[in-house]
Copies of this chain bind each other. A is one copy, B any other.
Amino acid sequence: MSGNKPSAWQDYLDAGLGFRNHWYPAFFSHEIKEADASSGNGEPVEHFRCMVILGERILFRRIDGQVYAIHDQCIHKGVPLSKRPECYTRETITCWYHGFTYDLKSGKLINIITDPQSALIGRHRIKTYPVKETHGLVFVFIGDGEPPALEADVPPGFLDEDLVMYPEGWAREVNCNWRLGAENGFDPAHAYMHRNSPLVRGFKVPTVLGDTGLGEDRGMDVVNGERENNGPCGVRLIRGAGTPLWQVEVASGRTISARYLPDEPGVMQGMIPEVGIWMPGVLRVDPFPAPHIVHFEWYVPVTERTHRYMISWGSKVRTEQEKKGFFDEMKYLWRDFVPQKFNNEDMFAREAMDEFYSVEDGWHRERLFGPDVLITAWRILCSNTNRGIQELPYGAQRATVK
């Protein structure tokens, strides 16, 4: 810890709740159904999603196909509307407590059932959130003002029209800060912990991200899309840069090495992936876990000590038959196997870092080593290209990171 000298990635250190004014995935498209016309009977309905993202509680509803998002809090006395959602029409939500009624699209207070002449009506609104839905995900913009194009906040290629996503993504809340998730995902040396994972050993999937000898100008690449073309900002490992995998004799006659080298016999072929991490916190691995499959994973801030870990998979299929093949492969094999037999180890590692970074000033006490050049490039890029720091709400105090 270097006294009070600002860090080269100070913004990153301050972003415990994430970066503001970015797009984040909220959930998978199939998880929210069209508002039921019969929900107009004033009784609670199930056709809602309520998520906490960057510390903000947000209510989602799908109306005529389009998803809308509003702050899940009545302006009157602050109760969550989602505790007992009441919709007398498909386009409104009424607070269960005193009947404050809001337009779901504009957030405007359009009626108060218990005081229909109130001067508040038409003059107040709940915050609404821009929403975009594509490639199986519902994205929400956590920020102020006009949002940028979604393209700037997803990995290159994610929006390709011929990229077909498997609809049933996977998601779980992990008990650590989102940055530990992102750094774990893109960490080139953590292949060590995966070398015995059932995915790796069972399918002989060659090591992803096992490169050594990386340097700022060797085997990696910083993409500052914002500066150049308002596109994605990220850090990439350069595919096929030929950097060697490690192999170490740990004891006499006992060698530990990354499993598996791409040229070992029996290893899954076609698996020299391109790996990159992108603002505001999403990893793209192409291909993984098998050729033709692109693996995306998001680290969405929830609280300062939790993040939502979301994974989805896509493939560039050319025919309906290829699509069916991809879907079957996902359904019967990878959809559950990958998170349970590979990424479970990542979640274990992230949560094992939580105390050090959350309580013990790990951000300054950590001791980085060679492969972490990728991590620091990511931290600096985040600090240079973010559109704002998400603050704790309502003047709450954060444990300062100096």
Contact = CB atoms under 8 A, between A and B. Distances in A.
Given A97-B193, A353-B78, A393 B116 contact: no
A189 B291 CA distance: 62
Contacts of A41: 254
Given A79-B349, A368-B76, A393 B115 contact: no
B115 A83 contact: no
A197 interface: no
Contacts of A124: 367
B88 A120 contact: no
A83 B352 contact: yes
B89 A250 contact: yes
Interface residues of A, number: 67
Nearest to A250: B88
A77 interface: yes
B116 A189 contact: no
A365 interface: yes
B189 A115 contact: yes
B192 A361 contact: no
Contact of A78 (B99, B118, B366): B366
Interface string A51-93: 0000000000000000000000101111110011000110000
Interface of A: 40-42, 73, 75-80, 83-84, 88-89, 94, 96-99, 101, 111-118, 120, 124, 187, 189-193, 210, 212, 246, 248, 250-251, 254, 256, 258, 348-349, 352-353, 355-357, 359-362, 365-371, 393-396
Given A75-B367, A77-B366, 19 more contacts: A40-B254, A76-B367, A76-B368, A78-B356, A78-B365, A84-B348, A89-B251, A97-B349, A98-B189, A98-B193, A98-B369, A99-B192, A111-B250, A112-B369, A115-B370, A124-B367, A359-B396, A360-B394, A361-B394
